[in-house]
Structure 1
Amino acid sequence: MPQSPAPPLPSPKERRRLREAKSLSQADLAAKVGVTRETVRSWETGRTSPRGRKREAYAKLLNAVAAEQAAAEAPHKPEPMKTERATASASTPSTVGGRSRSRSKSAAKRAAKPRTPVPHAAAASTAPAALRPLPVRVTKTEAPEQPDLTPAQAFDALCAGCGPGLVRQAYLLTGRRGLAQESVERAFQLAWQRWPEVAVDRDPAGWVRAAAYEYAMSPWHRFRPSQRHPDAPPAQPADRAFLDVLLSLPPAQRRALMLYDGVGLDLPETAAETEASTPAAANRILHAREAIAERLPDLADPEVLHRRLGEVGKAEKLRLPRADRVRTGSEYRARFWTRAAIAFTALIIGATALTLKNAPTHYEPPQAPGRAISGVPPRMGPGPLTYEDTTLREKLRAELPNGEERLTPQVR
């Protein structure tokens, strides 16, 4: 009996979009299909593809969601859903850090040069055994491709989608609310200044996240007067204890743990973003987990730790960055530094012109030091009177008269 053809499935990116449009979590979808949460993650990242009855149930659920969305957007004629076969025939998939993506040759030429990919097979062979069976958590926020958006609208969408999560992550990395908000705003300001570069990046959210992490964890903040006093701790004792343990970790371990267990990147992408080798990133994650489990045994399970990182970040009231204010602040900062550079250059030019005007126009050689000349007697002159000369002078002044009497001889 011939086997019926497998039902077509949307692309991995479209699968995730349909699930989020239905407001379903990965756990809810896994319960409906009858698989685990890790399996749904693998389907949405493109690492694996469902087969058999699981594929039929998964395709039926996604088609139902797509039909509901098409009915809700009937006047706009939505774009037909891409299947795996159509996607495979249209473009060649490329695997970067364990994630399958499709990109045409013309788009690849326009895109910025990505970071050096780390093959997943090589990463699995070099990673410690404690990290190999862990599922790949990929929770990156990718904006839908909308070519009609202006640069400002695309930037606002990126800021609205990634800003809240980045502020919570920066707070967990630093333990300071003001520094977390400032670091995220500075990262988005830098992204707006370099928007032509960020817009064509394969992961704009990762670009902004790396800039925010670098600014938040800079060691130079300790010299700022505003950072000398500790920030107010969380209200809940459990959150306070967890944040103290997290801040006691070295910065490299804290960042690797946040990327792997907090954000949900896989091991090769965590190593690439932290600019470390895959074994080094794995060791940092393992050491961080051991330190946390030693002081908080309830968080020994990675899934519990992942959920705890999200709960502590959401419990704090943090000011979220506003896209319009970020763009205005970025433009103001750019104008300020441009004017400062122009003023400094004008000051140097004025000082140089003043120096050239007051400088001498001809060369005056310095006078040579004096030398003693032999053969010439020293100049003679009246010297100081001795005691005898002084006595004789006083005697002559006292005895001799001043008139004609001085010519008359005196008898003695």
Structure 2
Amino acid sequence: MRYSALTDRLQGLGGAKWEIHAAARQMKREGRDLIELTIGEPDVPCPPDLILAATAAMEAGRTGYSNGHGEPATLAAIAQRYTARRGRAFGPENIMTLPGTQTTLYAVLCTLLGPGDEVIVGDPMYATYDGLIAATGATAVPVALRPEQGFRLQAADVAAKITPRTRVLFLNTPHNPTGAVLRADEIAALGALALAHDLWIVSDEVYEDMVFDGVPFASPLDLPELAERTVVTSSISKSHAAPGFRSGWCVGPAEFCARMLPLSETMLFGSQPFIADMTTLAVTQGSPVARGMAARFAARAGMIHDRLHGVAGLAVHRPEAGMFALLDIRASGLSGSAFARALLTEAGVACMPGESFGVGGDGGLAGWLRLSLTQPDPAIDAACTRIAAFAAKTIGEPK
């Protein structure tokens, strides 16, 4: 039977990247002793008042159809949030709401891209980005994010990859999987390239509220000269410990939102009104849990660094934000995938291989692991003990 070209483009870009995580979950179901450091689920429950808001909205009958743009109160709340944070006016016409950042990014990129276009994106990148780009028919053009530069995207490296087909500069700050946060001057330099070459900037900022203490956050939305070419996406999934509610949005020019609206209507014709009401409250009151999570994750990253950096040739890259730390295992001579599989089966620790976070599966984290910081301190400590013992046994053996 015949299938669409879209399904061909997405082969190998979906669940295959999460093989270690799926295997770990199966081992847990079988009762195996396992420490799971794979995915980035918040380490606290969703705040009770948000649950009550969603429940009350359902009980009040807020279970009917919505629309492809968003509920008026939610649009107004998000617009006010960005007006306050970015120092210039945003209105409901600048906002679109969709179920989660992933859906939002899909709609945004489908609005901006088509076959033959190119997207410049930092490599490593979040595991779904290459699939999101491929779905549009466009081509991802990776730009190396280097450890010696803090894994922050550099304008000079981007400039070398721009061609007449380049349409979008795809940013992620704070970055997953590296935890890097772009500085204001770096964003200004990238913005200058976008202006010079008439590029869109798409910036995934879902971890904005989880920047560690002492690290400044900046966004291309801060710069008025980039207003007509910047689209930012975010959600309440991380900041409000509500990933299962799938509530996200994008902020961009009014014309962009108007062009995206028919796509949103075609895909979904609206998010759930009761989740919109919950989101309105979340955005209006801010997060009661984000700063605590950020503090704990920073401390756990420090624990991993203290326990593993320099042990048996391992090196730890400490993040500036988010839910993950990176472990450099290149001294083992193994790929990240091979090391992660062996670590899972022999030591009972599940980590994501760095190869899951690059175009073509061999991106800038080949020979690295991504470690989630969302487990309790005793579990992180126990995982470090197991990783250190496994590395001592493995590194230096003939390959």
Which TM-score bucket, shorter chain as reference?
Answer: under 0.3
Higher normalized helix content (fraction of residues): 1
Higher normalized strand content (fraction of residues): 2
Q: Could you say which structure has the larger radius of gyration?
A: 1
TM-score (norm 1): 0.25
* Bigger relative contact order, structure 1 or 2 (CA pairs below 8 A, ≥6 apart): 2
TM-score (norm 2): 0.25
